[in-house]
Structure 1
Amino acid sequence: MTSDSAGPSRQSYDIVIVGGAIMGASTAWFLTDNPDFDGSILVVERDPTYSACSTAHTNSCIRQQYSTELNVRVSQFAADFIKNIRSYMGGDERVPHLAIRSFGYMYLADTPGFADTLRANHRVQQAAGAATQLMSAEQIKAAYPFYNVDDILLGSINVVDEGYWDGATVFDWWRRQSRERGVEYLHGEVVALNRNAAGTRVESVTLASGQVIACGQVVNASGPRAARTAAMAGIKVPVEPRKRYSWVFKAETPLDRDLPLTIDPSGAHVREHGGGTYLAGGHSAIDPGVEPDDFTMDHDLWESHVWPAIATRIPAFEAVKVTSQWVGHYAMNTFDHNAIVGPHPEVTNFHFINGFSGHGLQQSPAMGRGLAEWLTYGDYRSLDLRPFAFDRIAAGNPIPEVAVI
């Protein structure tokens, strides 16, 4: 794959995308795939290795079990894109066929309140065409005998287009095809967004090198750094990095069937990883915003919280050995845990694709497609993403997503 260039080839671009990870890559690719868009695109990425971005630290899963219909439909498009990626990418025979390993998500409720939440979510999901099923403790035990369900009142699972997928391959091919179609990826950092005298538009971006690049539209695809990028344009956006911890472990006694991505009432989660290994995740009870370059591991969290919780839920995991661990970041929208997509109402050519609160990889196909439509037409042509507009934040009208892991 062609490496990122050291300098832009021109002094002005129709679209400048700040951030080249999954959302920036998706937006760029969908712009190139739209026959009605014929503009120039520059993607500026501060770390072309992508070693410290959220995309690199994702657990690469997809689900339809959300509490809002729009989020369900966003994931339904992602599932279709994943399973038909070669067709979406013009029948390019270099593009591999992909599938979703649909072991499902299993939400477990141990209180009447959370059981009611699962029932309410189930109604939303079914209305949107998802295959979610509610299960009693007895039904869960019959289907998955390895669970301890003594305290469980209700479960919710969907094993259709819900589980693991190869997000890294989609990311790679978005970038590869975009470059082949003329998108420039620049190894650099945007350090200033320069507005016009009225403050209504971003006229140019300044790079750390000192070069100033004029732009027609600018896209904030900065992941956990979204607030820093927005601040350059004088905009406040409620997005901050939150640490999320992951461990891969090998079980002395592997389970006899696939393990759904199990969301324990304790907050810990664990899923199938393959070959007798499993992937667990969680976060500290105190969950503050952190610096975007803070990847310090909490070595006590596994022993004190995550392992005890999953070993209680799945007694076969009382004897395990951790083989790898890492820290990633959610780009958490602290306002309502939902995406912020589309233009700013006052700085009208500044566009958001931010705040995915841990759902970014699985939402990237629909979000990149939608923003590409808006940048081309000034409207959405497929899935209407206007409920995710920045206006709701300015108006103080949240649309909460309660199904956040």
Structure 2
Amino acid sequence: MAGQTQSPQKTQYDVVIVGGAIMGASAAWFLSDNADFDGTVLVIDRDLTYEACSTTHTNSCMRQQFSTELNVRISQFAADFVTNMPRYMGNDDRVPNLRIRNFGYMYLADTEAFAGVLKESQAVQVAAGAATKLMTADEIKAAYPFYNVDDIVLGSINTVGEGFWDATAVFDWWRKSARERGVEYVENEVVAITRNAAGTRVESVTLKSGEVINCGHIINASGPRAVATSRMAGIEVPVEPRKRYSWIFSAEQPLDVDLPLTIDPSGVHVRENGGGTYQCGGHSDVDPAVDYDDYTMDFSIWENYVWPILATRIPQFEAIKVQSEWAGHYAMNTFDHNAIMGPHTEVENFIFLNGFSGHGLQQAPAMGRGTAEWITYGGYRELDLKAFNFERIPNNRPIVEKAII
């Protein structure tokens, strides 16, 4: 833990949120913003600097290019929230006006089968109101001459509500605003969770500092540590930390137009970063679960895999210099790579907000709002998010989302 352990001000809260990064912050803020919720909220995090959390290690981009309508609409709400944040936050003149740097995502398909998936997904996206366009290899080359498209069959791009955004500003303002409205944040750690005699509800959490805190609801927003939290309540959730590597590099010959967040068929992705620099991400072919504190870089991945792919796809990237690099964790849902939310099937006040598998930042506004609605009303109001509820896992009903990076 980063600092001195802090004790909560009370011994009982209506909602205890375990994990204060982007998901916990979103749920806390939307609870505080809901006029029909008048309860108390405690957010507990092991490290309130968030130095090692997935939120800090993200590439801060959002996209509407998903294959399911619900995932598209979740991202559309994120785009609307970010670009209208002062309005959503009560017209507070302190809240910054943000914009999305709409360079879009460029999906590149190198097989007819993959091209067919892009076509099917684009139809779903357009029907939901997205501006996604399909591009032939010749069209891609005309618009973005720097690409090598010799092996490309089809591309897909959307430059409306899709690209880079200032996630740190949203994260900071959610926490600041929630605190001003009475949400309490403490740096501490949940070490035990106690259920009632029937096993149907969580009664309390025990903190590392020894306090026992009674709770009406508990929200598991623990990111890659989701199963460590759930197991204290005797609950299994199929979420594990998977290591993802990022690099920021400069190019000897920078591109003369913005680089879309390019999804190479290999899975390596790279985007514009500004000032002649670019951010790239990838992972090894062998992708095991890792220890929660394992952020060690594997330098061979860059030299032997990522850089050769970049230089092949964008020849101007043959002469580049790495400026910084780091490893972070995806909270990977190994069941179907989609969010897990809503109540447990037996422990009714244990609420999941887990398993976003790399999509968490862009999905945080809708998922935090939906969680606040569930706790306040016992159901969803603005977007019907029941498809993501935990019950699909024991019932073996996976969500089939084809646009997974």
Q: In which range does the TM-score fall when normalised by the shorter chain?
A: over 0.9
What root-mean-square deviation, in Å, do the aligned CA atoms of Structure 1 and Structure 2 show? Answer: 1.0
Find the aligned partners of 1:328 and 1:127 in 2 and give their Cα distance: 35
1:31 corresponds to: 31
2:50 corresponds to: 50
Query: Is it true that 1:173 corresponds to 2:173 in the alignment?
Result: yes
Find the aligned partners of 1:353 and 1:401 in 2 and give their Cα distance: 18
Give the residue type in structure 1 aligned to 2:45.
Answer: E
Contact 2:7 2:209 in 1 (8 A): no
Find the aligned partners of 2:5 and 2:257 in 1 and give their Cα distance: 47
Alpha-carbon distance change, 75 to 375 in structure 1, aligned in 2, over 3 angstroms: same
Find the aligned partners of 1:332 and 1:117 in 2 and give their Cα distance: 23
Equivalence map 1:156-167=2 (5 Å): 156-167=156-167
2:147 corresponds to: 147
Give the residue type in structure 2 aligned to 1:246.
Answer: S
Query: Is it true that 1:82 corresponds to 2:82 in the alignment?
Result: yes
1:402 corresponds to: 402
Give the residue type in structure 1 aligned to 2:40.
Answer: S
- 2:215 aligns to what SS in structure 1? strand
2:91 corresponds to: 91
1:8 corresponds to: 8
Residues 305-326 of structure 1 show CA distances to partners (whole Å, capped at 9, x for unaligned) of 1110011000000000000001
Find the aligned partners of 1:108 and 1:297 in 2 and give their Cα distance: 27
2:292 corresponds to: 292
Residues 56-112 of structure 1 show CA distances to partners (whole Å, capped at 9, x for unaligned) of 100000000001110000000000000000110011111110000000000000011
Deviation at 1:351, TM superposition (A): 0.1
Query: Is it true that 1:342 corresponds to 2:339 in the alignment?
Result: no
- 2:357 aligns to what SS in structure 1? coil
Find the aligned partners of 2:151 and 2:6 in 1 and give their Cα distance: 58
Query: Is it true that 1:125 corresponds to 2:125 in the alignment?
Result: yes
Contact 1:5 1:185 in 2 (8 A): no
Deviation at 1:4, TM superposition (A): 9.5
1:353 corresponds to: 353
Residues 219-254 of structure 1 show CA distances to partners (whole Å, capped at 9, x for unaligned) of 000000001111111111000111110000000000
2:231 corresponds to: 231
Residues 313-342 of structure 1 show CA distances to partners (whole Å, capped at 9, x for unaligned) of 000000000000011111010101110011
Deviation at 1:400, TM superposition (A): 2.1
Find the aligned partners of 2:5 and 2:275 in 1 and give their Cα distance: 40
- 2:304 aligns to what SS in structure 1? helix
Q: Which runs of 5+ in 2 are unaligned?
A: none
1:317 corresponds to: 317
Contact 2:5 2:209 in 1 (8 A): no
Find the aligned partners of 2:392 and 2:267 in 1 and give their Cα distance: 29
- 2:327 aligns to what SS in structure 1? strand
Count the aligned residue pairs.
403
- Residue identity (%): 70
Deviation at 1:166, TM superposition (A): 0.2
Find the aligned partners of 2:239 and 2:190 in 1 and give their Cα distance: 18
Find the aligned partners of 2:181 and 2:61 in 1 and give their Cα distance: 29
Find the aligned partners of 1:317 and 1:137 in 2 and give their Cα distance: 20
Query: Is it true that 1:64 corresponds to 2:64 in the alignment?
Result: yes
Find the aligned partners of 1:185 and 1:77 in 2 and give their Cα distance: 26
Deviation at 1:5, TM superposition (A): 7.9
Question: Deviating runs (4+, > 3 A) in structure 1?
Answer: none
1:184 corresponds to: 184
Deviation at 1:268, TM superposition (A): 0.7
Find the aligned partners of 2:386 and 2:257 in 1 and give their Cα distance: 41
Find the aligned partners of 1:206 and 1:268 in 2 and give their Cα distance: 42
Find the aligned partners of 2:296 and 2:401 in 1 and give their Cα distance: 28
Find the aligned partners of 1:389 and 1:4 in 2 and give their Cα distance: 36
Find the aligned partners of 1:41 and 1:7 in 2 and give their Cα distance: 14
2:371 corresponds to: 371
Q: Which runs of 5+ in 1 are unaligned?
A: none
Contact 1:4 1:48 in 2 (8 A): no
